[in-house]
């Protein structure tokens, strides 16, 4: 079913709406990055082992992986603005509890673990709602450009947040960092509230009612999740592309995790070299996001995805082939890998926004987020079984070959080749 967008009271009113919401989002991503690093460093400062820190990382991803599809049902049932504000305020409440505990001098590891898990629940609602909001406000022809700008906003927030966290934690500690995050969530909520947006809400008759029992409500939620999957599966090109996207993420996640190993063990560049490589990758991402935001990217989304896959594969292969004396070549490869990432992910998000009807966007983005969230632990787990025996350089080269093979596979799938020619929901 096609649902018209709210009619703006003046031309280009959507620009100011997007600017206000994304301005709040930039501030929220910045403060969330600050406290996220603070939480991990606090665990390390409390004597947490590598296993404990790994568990903390798992706590931050499990909600998105496990409840992402069901969170999408909630997004589709309720006004997106209410979901965005509600999830931000929920995260703010968690940060406030952590701040109070830290300022009182009692923030045990179990509390930090619980806060990471609960914050991730809030994010599992916020992320699909945020992605579903844009196509309900902006014209379809602007979605590619806006997807690039969104990635730029997030990249800026992450880069600046991590840098600020390194300064704030030694001076002020976790308590102040958590309070900053409370302010960030409140700013983001205020930004959404200021827009007074009216977005699509499914008819009440299709949602659960208060009179239904728990089993009926759960059954209805499962049924609505399946509806979202059926809508996604019905678009053969988009479905195939997302499966390929999962395979792509599965391969590149261990590569990203092995950056420090390559820098420290193969190139002997020390921790400064490892930090430089991460900055190089982030810089590539930021430049790519800016280019997509400025130009809208390739007119045919599939060209962008294919180019990104080939480029990432070649760069990974070169990085693994570089001799210990060729650290600059590794840094150049890191820039190219970073540049390729938005070229791949931004068109994927734009295609979902263009091709999925508004009443299913939350569920489809929930499924998409859950699928991609599983790629990180699965890819890292597989690599951990073999990387010690084959070495990081061989793993890099093998990953490069695998990515190039994936690029060939995508070319051979007719529905992916024709994805830009298919009908859109509106």
Contact between residue 242 and residue 368 where contact means Cβ atoms under 8 Å apart: yes
Query: Three-class SS of residue 243?
Result: helix
Q: Is residue 174 assigned to a domain?
A: yes
Are 133 and 228 members of one domain?
no
d(CA 290, CA 226): 36
Are 23 and 117 members of one domain?
yes
Q: Is residue 336 assigned to a domain?
A: yes
**Token representation of residue 403:** 């990515």
DSSP code of residue 4:
P
Residue 319 sits in a domain whose CATH number is 1.20.1250.20
Which domain does 283 fall in, by range?
A: 224-421
Are 179 and 249 members of one domain?
no
Helix (H) or strand (E) holding 140: none
Are 188 and 229 members of one domain?
no
SS3 content of the chain, % helix, strand, coil (to 5): 85, 0, 15
Q: Is residue 40 assigned to a domain?
A: yes
Are 233 and 181 members of one domain?
no
Query: Three-class SS of residue 79?
Result: coil
Contact between residue 331 and residue 399 where contact means Cβ atoms under 8 Å apart: no
Are 368 and 233 members of one domain?
yes
Compute the C-alpha angle 190/291/342, nearest 5°.
75
> What predicted TM-score, i.e. pTM, was given to this entire model?
0.75
Are 240 and 92 members of one domain?
no
Contact between residue 121 and residue 63 where contact means Cβ atoms under 8 Å apart: yes
d(CA 397, CA 173): 41
Contact between residue 293 and residue 144 where contact means Cβ atoms under 8 Å apart: no
Per-residue pLDDT of the chain in tens (426 residues, 90 and over written 9) = 444 444 444 556 778 888 888 888 888 888 888 888 888 778 877 766 656 766 777 777 778 888 877 888 888 888 888 889 999 999 999 999 999 999 998 888 889 889 989 998 988 888 888 888 888 887 877 877 888 888 787 777 777 777 788 788 888 888 999 999 999 999 999 998 988 776 555 544 444 445 456 666 677 778 888 888 899 899 999 999 999 989 998 888 888 778 877 888 888 887 778 778 878 888 898 899 888 888 888 888 889 999 999 999 999 999 999 998 999 999 999 999 999 998 988 888 888 888 888 888 888 888 888 888 888 778 877 777 777 778 888 889 999 999 999 999 999 999 998 888 765 554
d(CA 316, CA 277): 13
Are 176 and 240 members of one domain?
no
- CA distances (Å), origin 65, targets 60, 350, 366, 370: 10, 21, 9, 4
Rounded to the nearest 10 degrees, what angle do helices 236-257 and 392-412 cross at? 170
Q: Is residue 241 assigned to a domain?
A: yes
Q: Is residue 376 assigned to a domain?
A: yes
Q: Is residue 209 assigned to a domain?
A: no
* Count of domains observed in the chain: 2
Q: Is residue 204 assigned to a domain?
A: no
Are 251 and 144 members of one domain?
no
Are 170 and 85 members of one domain?
yes
Q: Is residue 192 assigned to a domain?
A: yes
Are 231 and 95 members of one domain?
no
d(CA 426, CA 418): 18
């Amino acid at each position: 079913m096609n649902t018209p967008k709210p009619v703006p009271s003046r031309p280009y009113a959507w620009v100011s709406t997007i600017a206000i919401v994304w301005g709040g989002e930039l501030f929220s991503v910045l403060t969330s990055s600050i406290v996220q690093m603070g939480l991990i460093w606090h665990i390390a400062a409390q004597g947490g082992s590598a296993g404990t820190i790994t568990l903390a990382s798992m706590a931050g991803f499990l909600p998105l992986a496990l409840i992402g599809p069901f969170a999408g049902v909630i997004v589709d049932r309720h006004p997106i603005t209410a979901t965005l504000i509600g999830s931000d305020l929920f995260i703010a409440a968690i940060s406030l509890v952590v701040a109070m505990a830290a300022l009182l001098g009692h923030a045990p590891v179990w509390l930090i673990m619980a806060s990471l898990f609960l914050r991730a629940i809030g994010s599992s609602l916020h992320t699909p709602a945020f992605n579903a909001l844009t196509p309900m406000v902006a014209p379809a022809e602007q979605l590619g450009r806006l997807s690039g700008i969104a990635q730029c906003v997030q990249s800026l927030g992450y880069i600046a947040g991590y840098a600020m966290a390194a300064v704030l934690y030694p001076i002020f500690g976790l308590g102040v960092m958590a309070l900053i995050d409370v302010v960030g969530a409140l700013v983001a909520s205020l930004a959404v509230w200021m827009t007074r947006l009216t977005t699509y809400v499914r008819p009440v008759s299709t949602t659960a009612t208060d009179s239904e029992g728990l089993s009926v409500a759960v059954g209805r939620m499962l049924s609505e999740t399946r509806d979202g999957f059926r809508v996604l599966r019905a678009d053969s090109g988009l479905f195939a592309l997302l499966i390929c996207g999962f395979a792509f993420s599965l391969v590149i996640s261990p590569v990203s995790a092995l950056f420090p190993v390559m820098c420290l063990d193969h190139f002997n560049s020390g921790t400064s070299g490892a930090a430089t490589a991460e900055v190089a990758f982030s810089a590539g991402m930021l430049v790519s996001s800016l280019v997509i935001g400025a130009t809208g990217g390739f007119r045919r989304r599939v060209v962008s995805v294919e180019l990104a896959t080939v480029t990432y594969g070649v760069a990974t292969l070169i990085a693994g082939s570089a001799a210990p004396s060729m650290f600059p070549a590794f840094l150049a490869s890191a820039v190219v890998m970073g540049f390729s990432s938005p070229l791949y992910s931004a068109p994927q998000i734009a295609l979902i926004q263009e091709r999925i009807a508004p009443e299913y966007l939350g569920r489809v983005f929930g499924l998409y987020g859950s699928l991609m969230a599983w790629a990180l632990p699965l890819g890292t787990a597989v690599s951990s079984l073999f990387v010690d025996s084959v070495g990081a350089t061989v793993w890099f080269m093998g990953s490069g070959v695998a990515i190039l093979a994936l690029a060939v596979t995508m070319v051979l799938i007719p529905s992916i080749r024709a994805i830009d020619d298919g009908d859109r929901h509106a």
